[in-house]
Amino acid sequence: MRGNIVEQDVDAVVNAANSGLLGGGGVDGAILRAGGAAQLDARRALKDRIGSLPTGQAAWTDAGDMLARWVIHVVGPVWHSREDRSDLLASCYREALRVADELRARTVAFPAVSAGIYGWPMPSAADIAVQTVRTTESEVREVRFVLFSDDAYAEFARALQRQAP
Print the domain residue range for 89: 5-162
Other beta carbons within 10 Å of 57: 19
Which positions are annotated as active-site residues?
Answer: 28
Domain at 20, CATH number: 3.40.220.10
Residue 163: pLDDT band with limits 50, 70, 90:
confident
pLDDT above 80: residue 94 = yes
Q: Are 65 and 13 in contact (CB under 8 A)?
A: no
What whole-number distance in Å separates Cα of residue 144 and Cα of residue 124? 18
How do 70-75 and 12-17 pair as beta strands? parallel
The count of domains in the chain is 1
pLDDT at residue number 37: 96
Please report, as a single letter, which amino acid is at residue 94.
R
Question: If you average pLDDT over residues 45-49, what whole number do you get?
Answer: 96
